Structure formats: C-alpha cells, structure tokens
Chains A and B, each alone.
Chain A
Amino acid sequence: MLKIDNLHARIDGKSILNGISLDINPGEVHAIMGPNGSGKSTLASVIAGKEDYEIRQGKIIFEKEEISELSADERAHKGLFLSFQYPVEIPGVTVTNFIKTSLNESRKAKGLEEMPANKMLQLIKEKSEMLEIDRKFLSRSLNEGFSGGEKKRNEIFQMAMLEPKLAILDETDSGLDIDALKVVANGVNKLKSSENATLLITHYQRLLDYIVPDFVHVLIDGKIVKSGNKDLALDLEKNGYDWIKKEVAKQ
C-alpha cells in the first residue's frame, strides 16, 4: 500500500530525513518510535504532503502511484489520512460542517455527487456512537476550546467518517489520560480492517498496549536503524534508546 524508498527531506536547508525506506501492506499496523528530534513528525508531514519540506531524494509510492508531486488535498482524496499531533482550531466552523465539507470534497474529487444530507446525518450518528462521542460536541467550533482528549477523539471521528486506506496517527497518545487513551485506541481498533493500514508514530510504548503493532521501527537521526515486532517496543521502554544508538555507532 505504502512504499517509501530511500527518502531524504529537509526544511530550511536542514536535513531531517536521511534515507528512510518503509513498506506497509494492507491489514498491517506499523509503529515508528524514536527519541525527540529524530524526524518522526517530519516523516508524517512529508507523507501527507506538507509543502514546507523539500524532498531531496527518494520516492513515496502510495497504491502503486508516486505521490510526492501531489498536493496534500490530492493525497487525501487517494485515501491518506493524518491524525495531527496538534489539531488546529477553526473558529465558527462546526465539527459537522467541517467533516461534511471534507467528505464531499473527497467525493467530488472521485467524481461522485455530494452525499445527501439525511445520509450524511445518519453516517455521523453511526460513527459518533461508535466512538462514544456526545452529539453536542458535533455542533461546537472545530477544536476551539477542546480538551486534549476531545481534540484527539475528534481526529479519530474524522478518520472514521473518511475511511482512509492509510491512517497515520502522529503522537495520538500525547496529552491523553489513560481513559481518553483507551477510548481513542478502541476507536482505532474498531476501524482496522484487512483493507486498510495504520502507521503509529509515538514516543511511548504505552499506546502500543492498546493498539498492538505488527512491526516496530526505531527512528534515529532521520533513519530507521532497527525494525522488529512488538517486543522491540517493550525493550525500548525498559532500556531507552541509548543501547540502540551505541549499536548504530558500532556499525
């Protein structure tokens, strides 16, 4: 589904990603872990198409198509979703209005008619119930005055509405207490299928207790230095990143 090949990217002349290769197949959950400043969020932004970054080298292939020349909205239309670490506020635009616009824009790009209002409402009802979202929440301005947990839950709600092929969850666990974390993780698990894939980006092993990855990759200095299964995450939790750094230095 997603194939990243030797990706190099920089911002303001500073090199952040230094040759990343990654293969994600349908039905898989991958986790990328790494210390602060290792390039985790940059990787998410570059895949999603944030224009501040300059791709120096390498390819991003999504569903057999090279997407690095596509704009962020075009990538979204192809089924790529990024759950933001810090979702932005858009005052005066309700959650409902926003997701309606988002969904219809994606439909338009695929040559489909706008979704009829009653169908839209039904879908919203279904997804918000699945994620245990209070309906009142849907008529509030997007992310304005939302708590950390509400913001993240709203991201997962949008994900549920848009049904992406690949969802990248950037630090979805940050700022969440354990109850909120469980709700969010539960939502992500419900949305998993053999058709879609998930890329988790996280600092801590904690999230991986709830969303169990098939593969764990360690990112240091813009490179994946080690890959393994979920046990690798437990190792990191116990021993930190230093031992890997040493191992890399030896090579």
Chain B
Amino acid sequence: MSKYTEDDLREELKTKEYEYGFYTDIDSETFPVGLNESIIRAISKKKNEPKWMTDWRLDAFKIWKKMEEPNWANVSYKKPDFQAISYYSAPNSKPKYNSLDEVDPELLDTFKKLGISLDEQKKLAGVAMDVVVDSVSVATTFKKTLLEKGIIFMSISEAIKQHPDLVKKYMGSVIPKTDNYYAALNSAVFSDGSFCYIPKGVRCPMELSTYFRINQAGTGQFERTLVIAEEGSYVSYLEGCTAPSRNENQLHAAVVELIALKDAEIKYSTVQNWYPGNDKGVGGVFNFVTKRGICEENAKISWTQVETGSAITWKYPSCILKGDNSIGEFYSIAVTNNHQQADTGTKMIHLGNNTKSTIISKGVSAGKSQNSYRGLVQVSSRAKNARNFSQCDSLLMGNKCGAHTFPYIEVKNKSAQIEHEATTSKIGEDQIFYCNQRGIETEKAIALIVNGFSKDVLNKLPMEFAVEAQKLLEISLEGSVG
C-alpha cells in the first residue's frame, strides 16, 4: 500500500490556495502613497471631520514620528516601508445606499463569495452588520431596531459627527495615542471602523457584527472600533476579517477599545482569516492590532478569538480590571501554517479588589510556522484577592514548526491566587491510525482532533460564529500533517 506520510500531507497543504483569494474590481478612490501632515489633513477633510478630530490625528502623528517600531515579539519579517503605503482607499460609490439594490453588484458578489450576503445575513438570527470594505462603512442594517432601544451602532466616522461628546470622552481613553507604535499610527490615519453605544440597563437584543476586508492593492487598513457599554448593559460583538490574496504584504493596524461601565458586560468575538501568504512565505497580511478593554465595578469583558490568518500576527487583547469584582476573560485559538508567525496572547491587569481573570489559549502549529503565546498577569499592590487561571495548550503537527509560551506574572499583593497550566502535544500517528481504522480519513481525523483540542474556546463563540470558525479551522489545516 502506498504510505501516506507527513511529507505527502505537507505537500498537499502547500498547494492549498487561500480560499478567499479573489480580488474585486470596484471603482475606488485611493490616496497617493506616503505619510505626512498633509495626507492626514486630507484624510480628515475627505471624511468631513471637525477640527478637534483633525488636531487629534495630527497630535498622534507627531507622537508616532518619535516612536520606533517594536521588535520584542517572537516574529521576524521585513519592516514595512510606511512611506510606501496608501493610507486611504474607499469604494467610490457614494453616498450610502438605502437598499441593497443600489449597492455595487460586484461588491455584493464579493459578499457572496465570502458567504455573507447581506440579504442572508439580514434574515439570519438577527445579526446587524456594519460592513467595512477597505475602510469605509458600506452598509449598516438593523439600525432602526437598534435605535428604538437607544443603541447606537454606526461607523466611527459618522459617530464623530453625530456623537462628538461620546467619541471625545472615550476615544483614546483605554488605548492612548502614546500607547505603542501601531496604536499611534492608527490614531493618526484611521480610516473608519465601528462605533457602538449601549445605554444604561439595555441588553442588546442581537449580536452586533462587522466584517472587515482588505481589497485594494497596497493599502493599509486602519480600523478604529469603540464599544461603550453603559451601566448594567450587555452587548455581544462579532468581528470577522478576510483579505484577498496579494503578493505585497498588506498592513493592518487596528485599534479596538472597549469600555464596560459598572455592572456592564461586553463579549467581543473575532474570527480572523486574513491572507496568510503563500507556501513560500510571500505576501500575506501584517496584523498589528491593539485591543484593550476597561472594566469598572462588577463589569465583565470576554475576548474570544479564532486566528487562522495573517502572515504576521501581533495581538494581545487585554483587560484592565479597574473596578472591584470585575472579570476579564480571554479565549483564543491561533492556528499557524506554512510560514505564518503569530505572537499573540493577553494582558490581565488587576487593579480592583476581588478581580478575576481567566485565560485559555490554544495554539495549533503546522508547516514551518511559529506560534507564540505571550501573556501578562499583573496584580497591583492595592488589588486584594485577585484571582487568575491561565491555561496554554499547544498542538504541533510535523517537526518543522514551533510553539512557544511566554507567560509573565507580576504580583504585588500577597492575597493573589495565580494558576498557570501549560501543555504541549503532538498529533500522534496512533491517533490518526485509530481514526482511520474507524473509517475516518486522515484529513477529517486531523480536523476532528483539532476541533476537540479547541473545544473549550469554540464553545465560547456565539452559535453562528462557532460553525464558521469550525469550518475555518478545517480549511486552514486541510491535509496538514499526519
């Protein structure tokens, strides 16, 4: 019998093209490459922003110019030339549409290929979508239903105009312009993003969802998301991303800020499958994202992420547990294949008393990829009875990939209880043979084993997202390793 080896599997995987590797030819307006004050002014003008916003951006740009790109992460890549990127690209078909009929048919086609036709989405389980294609919000649905509850869900550009007080108060309050190199860059050039505000005591009746997609060649995508949950409110927010395949490395530097006020709860789920580059490690998205939330008293923030894409991932969704009894959670699955590199994890900053955090991180590495978990658990001297539980599991396929764990624990209060568990395992040939013997072919067996491995995290995703995530795991590991 012909022996189906790990090499065969690896070979098969290499030829597995990126499923979403198509490019939509939408008439779009792209700015000349480069970054300087006049480009920033132009972006701001293009978006009809008020002066305070323009100044905010310029201030961020000044800060950014003095900063250096960080290189402490366990990833290696050629630093992007920030002067060779176009900082704004918007589909030309403006103004906004009142109905889907008015939307560029090619764009609708793109959505169909992504399997998220708005039409369908509208009917599906009450998901309101704010679709961001190349940085500008194209369509927002369900706005009316939300408005009745007083929920504001719109593009950040609109919010700057319509709700300047809220934006001024909260933007940059969790992630200041000075926070890090990419956050500063984002603050200067952010193109669009989503804004969400849940009023006091309101439970958002549907999952709010955005879909990001990078379309234009050589454009960076700088999303800015701001979610504010007032006292006693609840919201579940979904974010999905895809990018068509391209040879240049595309830059994505998003900023997401979550504010959970007293007794509020925010669930933020991400499924990320940006183009990971080809099997030679050419192309792919550089994903440098800053995500952070702040919890006031009794508030809770849960980050759930499924990361299967990007050539480079640099991302640490974090929680500042400021209020007493507040809770932070981080559930993550990161899958890397071929030449992908991921350095991802979380920071849990315990400031209040009786604060609790849970970290569950699952890393799956295949091909020649490198997958690192980097997490910080910090307990301040004032935080009494802080508790953390961390679990980091790695699953390896083949012997050319790497899994790394960098847990940092800084505790300044004796009453803290910190637990950390870590495991590393390999998909065994005996596991594959066992499945084979029960009639399950190798690819399916790997999908089954990986799904089992990731179950604790998949279970945290909203239903419709969990199904999609499961499929994604299967696609990204199709025929990976035996």
Contact B453 A73 (CB under 8 A): no
Q: Which residues of A contact B429 (CB under 8 A)?
A: 52
Contact A88 B440 (CB under 8 A): no
Contact B2 A69 (CB under 8 A): yes
Contact A88 B438 (CB under 8 A): no
Contact A69 B1 (CB under 8 A): yes
Q: Does B428 contact A (CB under 8 A)?
A: yes
A162 to B448, CA, bound (A): 19
Q: Quote the shortest CB–CB distance from A97 to chain B (angstroms).
A: 8
Contact A92 B454 (CB under 8 A): yes
Interface stretch, picked from A98-106, A125-133, A220-228, A243-251, is A98-106
B426-444, CB < 8 A from A:
428-431, 433-442, 444
Q: Quote the shortest CB–CB distance from B305 to chain A (angstroms).
A: 18
Contact A98 B454 (CB under 8 A): no
What does DSSP make chain A's interface, helix, strand, loop or mixed?
A: mixed
Q: Out of A51, A76, A102, name the residue touching B3 (CB < 8 Å).
A: A51
Q: Which residues of A contact B2 (CB under 8 A)?
A: 69
Q: Closest B-chain residue to A45, C-beta based?
A: B433
Contact A90 B431 (CB under 8 A): yes
Q: Which residues of A contact B34 (CB under 8 A)?
A: none
Contact A49 B452 (CB under 8 A): no
Contact A84 B1 (CB under 8 A): no
Q: Which residues of A contact B435 (CB under 8 A)?
A: 73, 90, 102
Counting chain A residues whose Cβ lies within 8 A of the other chain, the interface size class is 35 or more
Q: Does B451 contact A (CB under 8 A)?
A: yes
A48 to B2, CA, bound (A): 14
A158 to B437, CA, bound (A): 11
Q: Closest B-chain residue to A72, C-beta based?
A: B436
A91-B453, A101-B444, A141-B452 in contact; A68/B437 too (CB < 8 A)? Answer: no
Contact B437 A76 (CB under 8 A): yes
Q: Which residues of B contact A102 (CB under 8 A)?
A: 435, 438-440
A69-B2, A73-B441 in contact; A49/B436 too (CB < 8 A)? Answer: yes
Q: Does A87 contact B (CB under 8 A)?
A: yes
Q: Which residues of A contact B454 (CB under 8 A)?
A: 92
Which among B429, B435, B444, B455 has the greatest number of chain A C-beta atoms within 10 A? B435
Q: Does B4 contact A (CB under 8 A)?
A: yes
Q: Does B167 contact A (CB under 8 A)?
A: no
Q: Does B449 contact A (CB under 8 A)?
A: yes
A248 to B218, CA, bound (A): 78
A131 to B271, CA, bound (A): 42
Q: Quote the shortest CB–CB distance from A220 to chain B (angstroms).
A: 26
Contact B437 A93 (CB under 8 A): no
Q: Which residues of B contact A76 (CB under 8 A)?
A: 436-439
Contact B448 A73 (CB under 8 A): no
Q: Does A109 contact B (CB under 8 A)?
A: yes
Q: Which residues of A contact B279 (CB under 8 A)?
A: none
Q: Closest B-chain residue to A51, C-beta based?
A: B3
Q: Which residues of A contact B474 (CB under 8 A)?
A: none
Q: Does A190 contact B (CB under 8 A)?
A: no
A-B CB contact pairs (8 Å), 11 listed:
A55-B1, A68-B1, A72-B433, A73-B441, A90-B435, A91-B452, A93-B451, A101-B448, A105-B440, A105-B444, A162-B438
Task: A101-B440, A105-B438 are known; give 10 further A-B pairs, CB within 8 A.
Answer: A49-B1, A51-B3, A71-B436, A73-B440, A81-B437, A84-B434, A90-B452, A92-B456, A101-B448, A103-B439
